[in-house]
Amino acid sequence: MPDIVSKEIRLKSRPSGMPTHDNFELGTAIAAEATKGMVQVKNLYMSVDPYMRGRMNDVKSYVPPFALGEALQGHAVGEVVSSGDDGFKAGDIVLHMMGWREAITGPAAMFTKIDAHGLPLTAFLGPLGMPGLTAYGGFLDIGKPKAGETVFVSGAAGAVGSMVCQIAKIKGCAVVGSVGSDEKGEWLKSLGVDAYINYKTTKDLTQSLKDAAPKGIDIYFDNVGGSHLEAALEVANGGARFAECGMISRYNETGQSDGPKNLIYIVGKSLTLKGFIVVQYQHMQNQFIADVGGWIREGKIKWEETVKEGIENAPDAFLGLFTGANMGKMLVKLG
């Protein structure tokens, strides 16, 4: 198999505030035919995820920053084109972290073979991938749901949020989701979610949450932070659990913002607030695949995708995460 000329998206400059197209540049690299120990892969789909915004900053975090002038990274599924390793052959489908490019050649250890069992390959970037494990691990471990409890989910129509909503319904909970459009809310209702709040049109988020959850909330799965966290603290029942997954409303802020004004409820209501990073739930991977795979086969879990076409549109897909352009998982089709 010949070398592949691969287009890739590089980080041109570090954003201040909301990123723009000027922060990215298109380049080309060669994905060489595989030599001994190497695997050459043509990417079919790549994922864009909110955490990548943090990697665009030059700050110390749980993952290193993206390097200026180099291609970004992220989850992707691809097809093996040539292999110098006994564990892979041409035509195998693999999951790996070298998205944001059309093709890559790397050491075999970089790739994990996928047996799709008839599922679309994109499921491994969504419900059966990192966002799915985030929802499953964070909700079950920190939320500790019990049937009859009320769950509030922000960012509820996104990749993680829509999974949390459905797992909460499977566990017998009442679910209120917060979303940025009525179309997203109606989709959630079609999945069995009891009520939704359109945070962009409501005049009073806390009052809307009180109305949607008249018995209060027992679990808050936080994807958004800010005013959503403040509303959840206000409406939380005694002993409620807060799974702090993300705070996307803050990712593009340039200065220090005011915290929730009502943190004092943590004491009086005996709340548990716990942040987590998905890698901490790696030990749940087998149970996660068994449970979520089963729920998908039984029709209890469904998912949506918003798919952009072509590597040139990857920045657009990424920027769309911060304006609510996606329903379900945001992906870029490359193959």
Token pair belonging to 128: 């059966």
Is there binding between residue 326 and ligand NAP (CB under 6 A)? Answer: yes
Token pair belonging to 288: 């996660």
Residues 120-179 that bind ligand NAP (CB under 6 A): 131, 134, 155, 157-161, 179
Closest to ligand NAP by CB, 78 or 161: 161
* DSSP code, position 250: G
Q: Is 91 left (phi over 0), alpha (psi -120 to 50) or beta?
A: left
Report which residue's Cβ sits closest to ligand NAP.
Answer: 158
Is there binding between residue 284 and ligand NAP (CB under 6 A)? Answer: no
* DSSP code, position 161: H
CB of 318 to ligand NAP, least distance (A): 10
- The pair phi, psi for residue 168, each rounded to 5°, is -60, -40
> Comparing C-alpha atoms, which of 89, 164, 76 is closest to residue 124?
76
* Options 223, 292, 305, 314; binder of ligand NAP; rule CB under 6 A: 223
Beta pairing partners, 103: 42
Return the range that interacts with ligand NAP (CB under 6 A); candidates 24-32, 67-75, 293-301, 317-325: 317-325
Token pair belonging to 273: 């607030």
Question: What residues contact residue 55 under an 8 Å CB cut-off, 6+ apart?
Answer: 61, 63, 64, 65, 66, 72
Alpha helix ranges (H) inside 205-334: 205-212, 226-235, 265-268, 285-297, 314-320
Return the range that interacts with ligand NAP (CB under 6 A); candidates 81-89, 93-101, 185-193, 323-331: 323-331
Cβ pair 234, 262 in contact under 8 A: yes
* Options 9, 71, 191, 224; binder of ligand NAP; rule CB under 6 A: 224
Q: Binding marks (x or -) toward ligand NAP, 232..271, rule CB under 6 A?
A: -------------xx-xx----------------------
Closest to ligand NAP by CB, 73 or 326: 326
Closest to ligand NAP by CB, 78 or 177: 177
CA pair distance 175, 213, nearest whole angstrom: 9
CB of 32 to ligand NAP, least distance (A): 32
Residues 75-114 that bind ligand NAP (CB under 6 A): none
Residue where the block lists tokens 């050491």: 107
CB of 91 to ligand NAP, least distance (A): 30
Residues 12-51 that bind ligand NAP (CB under 6 A): 49-51
CA pair distance 37, 39, nearest whole angstrom: 7
Residues that bind ligand NAP (CB under 6 A): 49-51, 131, 134, 155, 157-161, 179-181, 184, 223-224, 245-246, 248-249, 276-278, 321-322, 324, 326, 330
